[in-house]
Amino acid sequence: MIPDALFEAICAAPDDDEPRAVLADHLIQRGDPRGTFIALQLRRAREGGWASKPERQLLKRHGHRWCGALAPVLSPRGLRFERGFLHTARVRGRWDRRDLAVLTDAVGRGEWRTLHALTCPRQIPDDEEVHEAALALLTHPVLGGLRVLHGLSAPLAGALQRSDPPACLEAIGLHEVQAGGAPGLGADSLPGVRRLALTGDVHLHDLGWLWDCPLWPRLEGITVMSRFYDDTRREAAYLDALASHAANALQRIDLVASCRHPAQPQGWTLRFTRDTQGRFTQLTAIPSTTSGTRDRACSALLRALEVLDPNAISALSIVRGPGFRPTRDQVEQITTACGRFGLQHLEV
């Protein structure tokens, strides 16, 4: 149990580690495993590196319970804690009438105060009462620290920007937005949004609305998730379309080979950034998968490298991560595939 005074001190100074360290000591003295978890995360925040095995085990065993009053409305999958407190989460269920009581009960709960990123259900029924409850939750002052909001349908995004969304929002994600787009997106009620993610099976012809969207000229990053696994040639076409319409503010284009949940993409993110001449020719391939799909992820990366124009890439970095540890043979395959680019700057 976290004392109210300590929780208030943490929320009042979110960037200060001292109140969190005091809480960790308090909980450790009482035999509460969350104290150990907070201490482990604080140490990792200072020293860097990946989560240790004890930290991962504590999160797996207790993470959902540590969500407190939010546990009924949040999925146990995709939870992320930082420096001991809830940072990233996604809503469970579909937000329909069956979940209305749970959704209503979660409005205004204090546990939301540390949340940085939230993913909504991918499908919300066209029900006025459900929409009102969702808006009440998303616009409540306890979510004042929310920076990232994913999984919005076009109607919910429109309703949100017409109401009173969290003023600190920096990134939003729209799910299955088709050719009609999200009318009015980027109005004055979303002044801080600089990154946009489009999820679902996004087709190239569904991107046209973006060029006239008020949000587009000020975007610094755009993410598109689609079934690039099915046809990796699509990645080059999407890159061409996004780069050719890019405003000066846009610095990063992410193509994610998945149409799954934005909080848990699988496969690879191909990140294109501008070179010194302003072209999107610098490529970083970032794994976003688990070892269980390592072979599929490696195959997808190799196919993507095969269809990219070598003359359109000036720098290439392939990142290893905790979710993708390639075998020696796979490293050799990737290195060989990269040879066709003839780059002086290559990191594998």
- Please check whether residue 70 is in contact with residue 109, taking contact to mean a CB–CB distance below 8 angstroms: yes
Give the per-residue pLDDT at 291.
43
Give the per-residue pLDDT at 209.
86
- CB neighbour burial string for 31-60, b if at least 16 within 10 angstroms, e if fewer: ebebbbbbbbbbebeeeeeebeeebeebbe
Helix H or strand E segment including 225? strand 221-226
Q: For 178, what's the count of Cα atoms within 13 Å in the CB-facing half-sphere?
A: 0
- Please check whether residue 195 is in contact with residue 220, taking contact to mean a CB–CB distance below 8 angstroms: yes
Query: Among residues 112, 247, 130, 107, which one has the least CA distance to residue 186?
Result: 247
- Please check whether residue 180 is in contact with residue 206, taking contact to mean a CB–CB distance below 8 angstroms: no
Give the per-residue pLDDT at 42.
97
Residue 198, beta-bridge partner list: 174, 224
The full set of domains in the chain, from first to last, is: 1-49 (no CATH), 266-348 (3.30.750)
Place of tokens 């269980």: 292
Q: Which distant-in-sequence residues (6+ apart) come within 8 Å of 295 by Cβ?
A: none
Average pLDDT along the chain, 348 residues, taken 10 residues at a time: 90 93 96 97 93 95 96 92 96 80 91 94 74 87 92 80 78 80 66 88 82 90 79 78 93 79 60 94 77 65 79 83 71 83 60
- Please check whether residue 131 is in contact with residue 163, taking contact to mean a CB–CB distance below 8 angstroms: no
At 3, give phi and psi (nearest 5°). Answer: -60, 140
Place of tokens 């290195």: 335
Indicate the residue type of 86: L
Query: Among residues 122, 91, 94, 93, which one has the least CA distance to residue 107?
Result: 91
In angstroms, the CA 196 to CA 219 distance is 7
What the block records as the tokens of 165 is: 């969304």
Indicate the residue type of 43: R
